[in-house]
Structure 1
Amino acid sequence: MAAELGRLTPRDRHLLNLLDQHRTFTTDQLVDLAFGSVGRARNRLNTLHDRGILDRFRHYQRPGSQAWRWTLGPVGAALLAAGRDEALPRPAAVRDATARLAMSPTLAHLLTVNGFFVALTAHARAHPGARLVRWWNEARCREACGTLVRPDGHGVWSDDTRAGGGRAVPFWVEADLGTETLPRVVGKLTGYAALPPRRAYPVLFWLPTAAREANLHTHLHRAGLPDGLTVATATREHAAAPGPAGPVWRIVGHHDRVRLAHLPAPTGGGTSWDG
C-alpha cells in the first residue's frame, strides 16, 4: 500500500472515489468519465487491475464478449479505508463483495442509473460551461429523503452555455427497466410530493423505450399528478445521440421536448436547489 501511494495519479484517485460511491462502471462508462480514448483507458485499467487496485468481472455472452464491469480491488479498497482512518478490509471480504455485486439481480439497474450520470458527465467534458454539480447515489438519497421515497439518484445540472441559458436544475432520477407495472411506477410520486419544499425537485423518469414512455404518459393523464410536482420523461433509445442533457425531456402535460437545463424550477416555495 505504501508503494502504491506514490504511483497513483490524480485520475486514479478520482476513479477510486467514483467506484467507492457508485460501486461499478463498464469500460465505456469509465472512458467517458475520465479518459480520452478507449485504448488509453484499457491500458490504465488493466495496469490498476494487475496491481490489485481495481477488480473486474463480466458474464458469459455469445456471440462476442460482455464489457468488463470494474469495481474496487483489495488494494484500492484498503487505500480508501486508510484515507478515512477506518479498519482495512480483508482482501477476501473485498472479493466476496465483488462476487455478490456480479450476481446481484439489481446490477443492470445500477449500471443504468450510473450510465445516466456518466452521459451527463461526458456531455460536460465536451461542452465547456456545462457541469454536473452534484451526483448522489441511492444511499445518499435515502439519507436526504428518509422513508418517504427511494430515488435511484439525484443530481444538479448547471449549463452556462448559450443552449443552456445559465440555469442550474436539481432533479431526482427514477431509472425504469420496464419490469414494474405502471401503477407501481406512478405510485412513487406520492412520496416525492411529500418531500419538504427544499427537496421539491423535478422527478425524471429515464425509460427504456418510446412505447413505455407513451404508456406512462397515458397512465399519468388518467391518474393525475400530485399538486406542485413536476415530472418529465425521456427514453434511452430517443436520447442516444443528444444524451440526457439535450432536448429530450417531455414534461407531463406537454408535448414539446426541452433540454434538461430548461426544466421548470421547483415549486411549493423551495429554492432552485439547496447548494
Structure 2
Amino acid sequence: MVSNPTPQRQLRSHRPERPVARVLNSAEHHAWLARHLTGRDRWLCRMLFEHHVLTSTQIIDIAFTGRRAANLRLRNLYQWGVVHRFQPHRDRGSHPMYYVLDTAGAVALARENGIDPKELGYSREREIGRAFSLQLAHTVGCNGLFTALIRRARQPDAAGMLAAWWSAARCGRHWGDIVTPDGYGRWQENGRDVEWFVEFDFGTEQLSRLAGKLARYERLADTTGITTPVLVWMPSAAREANARKALTEALRALDRPARVPVATSSGDAAADPLDMAAPRWRRVDDLDSTGRAALADLPTLWPSLRAPTASTALTPSSAPPSLRPELTPPPPMPPPDPSSQWR
C-alpha cells in the first residue's frame, strides 16, 4: 500500500541550473563569452591547458587576492562551461575543489590563437578523466611547487619572480625521447637568473630508477649544449637521505658529471614543504656540508655554472618542432588586469 502519494520527481533534491552542453558549445554562447571573459580568465584557461589541473587553493595563490572573490569567479566560469571541477575522495576531511579546462574555455583558447579547436588536441573526456588518474596527486603536488613561487612573487615586498614554468607534458613533447622532467622553471631574484628541471618524487618510485635518470640528463645536456641544474624534491628527510646515496653513485658513474648539477630537498627541510625559494637545496655530491641554499643562491653551489642568457636559456625555439600547433607557454605571473576585472 502506498503510504506517501507525493510524486517521485518532487522528492528529488534541488539541482543547480547549468546550461546544457549544446548551449555551451553554440556560436551564440561563444559570442556571449567574448564580452564576459576577462584577461585573467583567458590566462587561467592557458594555465589549465598547460598544467592540466589546479586546485582552488593554487588558483587563489596565482590569480586572486582572496578566497571569496575566487569562489565567485570560478563558479561563474564553471556555469559558463569554461572550466570543469571535481573533488576527489578523501577518508578524512575533504579535498579542495580541483579545476580542469572545459569545452568553452578550450574553444576560446583555440580561437584566440587562430587555430581550429580540433587542432588544439583538447579532449573533454581526458581532462575530466583526470579525476580518476593515479597520477593526479603527483601532478597537483608538482604544480604546488610552482604555484608557491607565484604566491611568493605576488607579495608586495617580493624580490623574485617566476619567469618561466613548463609542464611535464611540454617537456615531454620537446625532450621525451631522452628524458621527461616533471617541470622546468626559471626564477629571477636580485639580479640573478636561475633555471632548473624538477623531479618531484612522491616516495613511490624506486630509487634506482630515479638515479638512472641522471644519465639521460647528461645526454640532454650534450644534445642541447645547455647545462641545467636538476632539483629533486622528496617527501621526507629519510627518503632524501636514502636517495642522496643512490644519486651520488649514479653521478660518479657519469662520463661528465659536471654536466648534471643535482641538488635535493624534502618536505621536512623548510617550514613550507612546497616553498622552493626557501634555503632548502643541498648539492648531491657535497657529502660533508650540511648547509642548504635558497633557489636564488643555486649558482653558489656550482661556481663554474654559467648563468642562463637569452641565447642559452631553454626556450620554445631551442626545442624540436611539435607535430601539432604548439601554443606559447603562458607567462606564470597573472596579467595586470584593471581592478574592476579582479572582483
Does residue 250 of structure 2 align to residue 219 of structure 1?
Answer: no
- CA-CA distance at 1:82 after TM superposition: 1.5
Moved more, 75-84 or 135-144: 135-144
Task: Specify every segment of 5 or more residues in structure 2 that has no aligned partner in the other structure, as ranges.
Answer: 1-29, 314-343
Q: Distance in 1 between matches of 2:188 and 2:201?
A: 24
What are the residue-to-residue correspondences of 1:221-236 with 2, within 5 Å? 221-225=248-252, 226=254, 227-228=257-258, 229-236=260-267
Structure whose CA Rg is larger: 2
- CA-CA distance at 1:83 after TM superposition: 1.6
- CA-CA distance at 1:137 after TM superposition: 1.1
| Cα distance, 1:189–1:268 mapped onto 2, change above 3 Å | farther
- CA-CA distance at 1:157 after TM superposition: 0.7
SS at match of 1:238: coil
Does residue 51 of structure 2 align to residue 16 of structure 1?
Answer: no
- CA-CA distance at 1:269 after TM superposition: 7.9
Indicate the residue corresponding to 1:172 in structure 2.
Answer: 197
- CA-CA distance at 1:70 after TM superposition: 0.3
Give the count of matched residue pairs: 267
Q: Distance in 2 between matches of 1:198 and 1:157?
A: 20
Moved more, 78-87 or 111-120: 78-87
SS at match of 1:263: helix
* Structure ranking higher in strand proportion: 1
TM-score when scaled to structure 1?
A: 0.89
Q: Distance in 1 between matches of 2:124 and 2:71?
A: 21
CA contact (8 A) 2:184 2:195 kept: yes
Does residue 141 of structure 2 align to residue 118 of structure 1?
Answer: no
AA aligned to 1:134 is A
- CA-CA distance at 1:268 after TM superposition: 8.0
Q: Distance in 2 between matches of 1:219 and 1:72?
A: 39
Please give the per-residue CA displacement for 1:59-107, whole angstroms capped at 9, x wherever unaligned: 2223322211101122111111222233335xxx843123321111211
Q: Distance in 2 between matches of 1:190 and 1:268?
A: 20
SS at match of 2:100: strand
AA aligned to 2:215 is T
CA contact (8 A) 1:29 1:115 kept: yes
AA aligned to 1:97 is R
Indicate the residue corresponding to 2:92 in structure 1.
Answer: 63
- CA-CA distance at 1:51 after TM superposition: 1.2
| Cα distance, 1:42–1:218 mapped onto 2, change above 3 Å | same
SS at match of 1:135: strand
Moved more, 243-252 or 137-146: 137-146
SS at match of 1:6: helix
| Cα distance, 1:38–1:269 mapped onto 2, change above 3 Å | closer
SS at match of 2:117: coil
Q: Distance in 2 between matches of 1:240 and 1:17?
A: 31
CA contact (8 A) 2:100 2:128 kept: no
SS at match of 2:154: helix
Cα-Cα RMSD: 2.2
Does residue 237 of structure 2 align to residue 210 of structure 1?
Answer: yes
Does residue 293 of structure 2 align to residue 258 of structure 1?
Answer: yes
Does residue 168 of structure 2 align to residue 138 of structure 1?
Answer: yes
Q: Percent identity?
A: 37
| Cα distance, 1:241–1:216 mapped onto 2, change above 3 Å | same
AA aligned to 1:123 is R
CA contact (8 A) 1:53 1:74 kept: yes
Q: Distance in 2 between matches of 1:261 and 1:270?
A: 14
CA contact (8 A) 2:264 2:281 kept: yes
CA contact (8 A) 1:117 1:135 kept: yes
- CA-CA distance at 1:263 after TM superposition: 0.8
Moved more, 62-71 or 173-182: 62-71
CA contact (8 A) 1:200 1:267 kept: no
What are the residue-to-residue correspondences of 1:1-275 with 2, within 5 Å? 1-88=30-117, 94-126=123-155, 127-160=157-190, 166-194=191-219, 195-196=221-222, 198-225=225-252, 226=254, 227-228=257-258, 229-241=260-272, 243-252=275-284, 253=286, 254-264=289-299, 272-273=308-309, 274-275=312-313
Indicate the residue corresponding to 2:5 in structure 1.
Answer: none
SS at match of 2:77: helix
SS at match of 1:205: strand
- CA-CA distance at 1:255 after TM superposition: 2.0
- CA-CA distance at 1:223 after TM superposition: 4.2
Q: Distance in 2 between matches of 1:233 and 1:101?
A: 29
Indicate the residue corresponding to 2:25 in structure 1.
Answer: none
| Cα distance, 1:148–1:78 mapped onto 2, change above 3 Å | same
SS at match of 1:31: helix
| Cα distance, 1:267–1:149 mapped onto 2, change above 3 Å | farther
